[in-house]
Structure formats: C-alpha cells, structure tokens
Amino acid sequence: MTREVDLAVPLRIADLTAARDPVTVLVGPEVRERVATARAFLSDVLGDDRAVYGATTGFGALVGYPGRAELRDQADNTLAHLGAGQGPDLGPEVVRATMLIRAWSLARGASGVSPHVIDALTAMLATTFVPAVPRLGSVGASGDLIPLGAAAQALRGRGYAYLDGVRLPAAEALEKAGLEPLPLDGRDALALVNGTSLTTAAAALALDSVRASHRAVQVLTCLLADLLGSDPQFLDVRLLRAYGHPGAVAVGAYMRRVSAGLVPSGKRPLQEPYSIRCAPQLLGAAEDALRYVDSVVRSDLEGVSDNPLFFPDEDLVVHGGNFFGQPAAFAADLLSMVVAQVGNLAERQLDLLVDPNRTGGLPPMLAAGPGQQHGLQGVQLASTALIAEIRRDAVPASMQSLPTNLHNQDVIPLGTQAALRVLDQARLLHLLVGSLAVGLRQAAYVGARAPTAPGCAEVLAAVAAAVPPVDPDRPLDGDVRRAADVIATVDVFPNTLS
C-alpha cells in the first residue's frame, strides 16, 4: 500500500524514509488556497513595480542589475548558471526526501510559487522518477543552489534523471513516467533552489540511521555483559541518577530493561573495562546530543527556507536569510561526533571480545579452531578500517567558512557538506554495529555462557537466526550486513528514549 503524506501537517522523518518509494502526497484545499493567495499577491507586487529579488533582479552578487524582462526567461536566468555541480549523483533516497521537503516548504504559501509547481513535485513523488543531482557544489548559504538547480532542471526535462533506477535524459524519463515538463518563471525557479532542503534531508536521514545504531549498541552492550557474566551494577539506577545527566538516566533505564534477569558469573573483575562499565555514560551523552539534533531537524522540517518571503495579509515582501543552513550545519557536526564515539565503543567492544585475555578464555579471534581457522580476524580488521574512516571525516564543517560570490556570501555554513558527510558516516556505523553483532553471535558458539537475561537471549536468537556460526571460515561481509539489518530492527522493548 502506497504511503500518504499530507502537506497540511508537519513532515516526520518517517515520511522522508517512505519517500524513497512512490508516495501519495496530499494537497488539500487549505494548502491550495494559501499558495494561490501568495501567488496572486506576487502578481500585484510586480504590477506595482516593486523590487522583488530574483523576479525583477539578477541573482546573488548581481542583484544590483535588472533581470530579464520576460518572467519565463528569468527561469533560464536563474537555473542555467547553476549547472556547475560535480561529483557522483546523490542517492535516490536523499534526492526524493529533498523534493518532499521542498514541496512542504513551498506549500506554506510564503514563497509566491505557482500552484502547478506543488502539483509537479507531488506528481513526481508518486512515480519512481528521481532527478540526477551531483553531490558537490552547495555551500548551504543561499540554500542548496547547485544541487536543487539540477533537480529543477530535471523537472523541466533538462539534464538527467533516474526512472526505475535507470539513468536517462530527463526528458525521456519524464515521458516514460507520464510526467509533463515543468514550466517555470523566475520566482518559481528561485523558490525551488533557494532553500536548505537537501541539507535537511541528509541530516534527517542520518539522524534516523544513527538513532537505530545507538539503540542497537545499547542492546548489544547488554548482550556482551551477559555473555561474559559481568555484574550489571554499572547500570544501577541510583548510580546513574547521581551522575545527573538525563541521557544517561534514560539509557540506563532502557539497558536495565534489556538486561533484566542477568545473573553475574562471579568470575569477572570487580570493575569491567570502560567499554562496558562506562557505556551508559557514553551512550547517555550521545542521547543528550541526539535530542538536540532531533530538535534542529524538527525545526527545519517545519520551517520555510527561501528568500524573499511573501506575507499577503500584511502587504509585505521581506528579504532576508532564511536560506542559511547554520542550524543543520551545527547539528550535523554534532551528529558526526556522536557517530565517531558510538562507533569507537562498538569497535572497542569487538576488540575486547576477540581477546582471550579479557574474555576469560574464549578462543582468540573467536576462531572455532585457532590456527586452522581465523574466526573474526578479518571482521575485526575491517572494523578498525571503518572506525578510522569515520574519524578521518569527523572534522567539523560548520566552522570552515570561506567568502564567495563577490563577498555577497561572506560567511557560509557548509551545512550540506556536514549533513552528507554524516550520512556517509552513519552507514559505516551501521556496519560496525553489524560487526559487533556477528562477534557476539560467534562468541556464543565458541564457548561463552548462554544469556541469563530473557531480553539478551531474544537478541542473540534473532542474530543467530540470520548468521550461521563461523565454522569453518567463510567470507563474512554479507553476514555483517545481515546482522546490522537484524539488530537495527530487533525491539526487545519499545525504546522510549526519544
């Protein structure tokens, strides 16, 4: 059944993830009325010879020069010079989420777009059509100009697009999808590109993935402690309340539910290594950071990113900077730090698990026959490479401002780079979580005790159903991906952290 998304209500991240497939986007009478009202107001303003950026003027640093006399020609004036993007095409799930966010922002009725622009976006989202959008070119300062410009051109039948996953000339893809090329004037074209919808989409999708991995590491930490026979007092409610941080309290409460019934073996040291003992503090700090990112993404999804904005009831055209993606830039950089430290925790837990000196006698590398077999040795090496890749890319983007556009854009947030970068990192974190899950499954096979907590036993059973024991050795790349997908969906108890 095709999911429905209503432009009259706030978007949710679930709407964005659903939009990777065809979705039915509802445009009710309230939305149509406010879009039509703003469009009529724009016509009145232009009839009064009032200056409107992008409709009567040049763009960016050339705002002091008049634009083209014909409104239709202004679309070419807007979009042609933005055809400068480079690099590989963005993934279809990112582009389609971007277009849904753009439709929602324009549907607020503050952008002065033609109603048929909203209709074209919603029609596109009901098909498998995806504009081919180059990754590189946006600085997130006047919105995601160059990537959104490529998307707008594809909707006009120019450039390239994907249909059913096949890259085609955009005009051909439109025809095969049953879509008409989108006619635009200068205001329509500028409204399509002058917002941070790509940045918001990438940040939201990354947040969704990191949330799943964050929860999975909580669950796997409990399973690790149970397989080793650790004393669960590191999760004690009094201990974590005394710590005073809301995230740690919330994480500890969830981990106690997962590990309820865990019986210590009595054979472990008084204090476990930090990768177990300090997990609620680390993951709790991540939870506090994720709550901040949640709030930024929610505000972006409910806001209007464009310039200028039109307020018909007050007879106002207001020029400003609502296309400036600084909030998402800060949030994406913070999310990158969360990914790096949660990923580091998962990698260190796997390192502990393959070391017989710290597990109390499990075979090295969890090999079923050490020497004749090598168990998790390749997976652990790959995990080291994954966390190194995440760390290498963790330098903040949001403070790398460079002046550009004849110093019209003399400060820039670089939120697009931050958001796309952390989306890449989130995918690597997913694989690190899968690597740890495979290690825990193998530990149970080569001699770790059976879980004593029912929740931990349920988690182990879910992973074991998807990943056979490593005996004899085999390539484990597919097992890591399967385990990552399984543990991302296992829900021992409803997670109420967020």
Does pLDDT of 69 surpass 80? no
Domain of residue 29, residue span: 4-195
Q: Return the pLDDT at 494.
A: 53
CATH number of 42's domain:
1.10.275.10
- The residue to which tokens 């993934």 are assigned: 91
Position 37 in a domain: yes
Question: Under DSSP, is residue 17 helix (H, G, I), strand (E, B) or coil?
Answer: helix
Assess whether 311 and 422 both reside in one domain.
Answer: yes
Assess whether 301 and 383 both reside in one domain.
Answer: yes
In angstroms and rounded to an integer, the radius of gyration of the C-alpha atoms of the chain is 26
Q: Are 71 and 185 in contact (CB under 8 A)?
A: yes
The residue-averaged pLDDT of 396-405 equals 82
Position 113 in a domain: yes
Helix (H) or strand (E) holding 169: strand 166-169
C-beta atoms surrounding 22 within 10 Å: 15
As a whole-number percent, the residues of the chain with pLDDT over 70 amount to 98
Assess whether 270 and 351 both reside in one domain.
Answer: yes
Assess whether 210 and 136 both reside in one domain.
Answer: no
Rounded Cα distance between 429 and 434, Å, is 9
Last residue of a domain, one of 158, 175, 195: 195
Assess whether 132 and 168 both reside in one domain.
Answer: yes
Q: Mention every residue, 6+ apart, whose C-beta is less than 8 A from residue 252.
A: 235, 236, 237, 239, 240, 280, 284
Q: Are 85 and 133 in contact (CB under 8 A)?
A: yes
Assess whether 79 and 21 both reside in one domain.
Answer: yes
Position 496 in a domain: no
Six token digits for residue 409: 């854009």
Assess whether 159 and 260 both reside in one domain.
Answer: no
Position 293 in a domain: yes
Q: Are 468 and 368 in contact (CB under 8 A)?
A: no
Distances (CA, A) of 413 to 191, 301, 403, 406, 417: 20, 18, 11, 17, 9
Position 273 in a domain: yes
Assess whether 215 and 128 both reside in one domain.
Answer: no
Position 120 in a domain: yes
Assess whether 297 and 425 both reside in one domain.
Answer: yes
Last residue of a domain, one of 176, 195, 214: 195
The residue-averaged pLDDT of 451-459 equals 98
| Domains of the chain: total | 2
Q: Return the pLDDT at 495.
A: 47
**Is 53 a residue of the active site?**
yes
Position 495 in a domain: no
Of residues 110, 158, 104, the one with CA closest to residue 131: 158
Tell me, rounded to whole angstroms, the distance of Cα 17 from its chain centroid.
Answer: 9
Most distant CA pair in the chain, distance: 85
Tell me, rounded to whole angstroms, the distance of Cα 201 from its chain centroid.
Answer: 7
The residue-averaged pLDDT of 305-331 equals 94
Assess whether 339 and 364 both reside in one domain.
Answer: yes
Q: Return the pLDDT at 405.
A: 74
Q: Pick the catalytic residue: 53, 160, 162, 254?
A: 53
Position 497 in a domain: no
Task: Report the predicted TM-score, pTM, of the whole model to 2 decimal places.
Answer: 0.96
Assess whether 301 and 347 both reside in one domain.
Answer: yes
Q: Return the pLDDT at 62.
A: 82
Last residue of a domain, one of 153, 176, 195: 195
Does pLDDT of 384 surpass 80? yes
Name residue 24's beta-bridge partners.
4
pLDDT digits (tens, 9 = 90+) for 123-178: 999 999 999 999 998 888 888 999 999 999 999 999 999 999 999 999 999 999 99
Q: Mention every residue, 6+ apart, whose C-beta is less than 8 A from residue 119.
A: 27
Assess whether 108 and 244 both reside in one domain.
Answer: no
The residue-averaged pLDDT of 367-391 equals 97
CATH number of 278's domain:
1.20.200.10
Pairing of strands 134-136, 130-131: unpaired
